[in-house]
Amino acid sequence: MTKSTHPALAQAPKTTREALERALNYAKTHELAKYHYVNYNGDCCIIGQFFTPEQRKLIRTTDTPSGSLNEKDVFELAGRIGKKNLKAMTGLTVKQAAALQFQNDNTSKEMLIFNIERVLSGQTNTITGEVFTL
C-alpha cells in the first residue's frame, strides 16, 4: 500500500490549519488525557487523537528503556516513529506538536482551546513560543 493510499494517511490533516481545526474540535468535544497519548479510559491527548486506534495501542504498549512510550514527549515519539511519519499523521512539525502537547499537559482545556482559537483567528501565530504558519 502506498503512502498516499494508506487509510490512516488519507484521513490525516494535510495542512497546519486542518491540524489545528481538528485539534480544536477534538478538545471541544472530548475529555483530554494528560501526560499520556491515550489513557486507560480511552481518552486521548491533543496529539494522540491524530493516530488510529491501532497506532494508539502500539504507542500504549511499547516500552522504552525509561518507561512506556505512551508517557514520553513528542520528541521521543518522533524519534521512534520518525519525524516525517509524525508530520504525515498530525499535519504538524515535531516542535508544533510538542507545543500543543505542552499546552495539553500543563494548562487547562479551556486555555488550550483559547490558544488554538487565537492562532486560527489570526490574533497570534504562536503557541508556547512555537510558530504556526497557516
* Distance between CA atoms of residues 114 and 110, nearest Å: 6
Q: What is the dihedral of CA 97, 1, 43, 35, to 10 degrees?
A: -40
Q: What is the dihedral of CA 34, 31, 44, 4, to 10 degrees?
A: -140
Q: Name every residue whose Cβ is closer than 8 Å to that of residue 21 and which is 6 or more positions away in sequence.
A: 13, 120
pLDDT digits (tens, 9 = 90+) for 14-64: 999 999 999 999 999 999 999 999 999 999 999 999 999 999 999 999 998
Taking residue 27's Cβ as centre, other Cβ atoms within 10 Å add up to 22
Predicted model pTM: 0.90
Closest to 99 (Cα-Cα) out of 76, 133, 127: 127
pLDDT digits (tens, 9 = 90+) for 54-108: 999 999 999 989 899 999 999 999 999 999 999 999 999 999 999 999 999 999 9
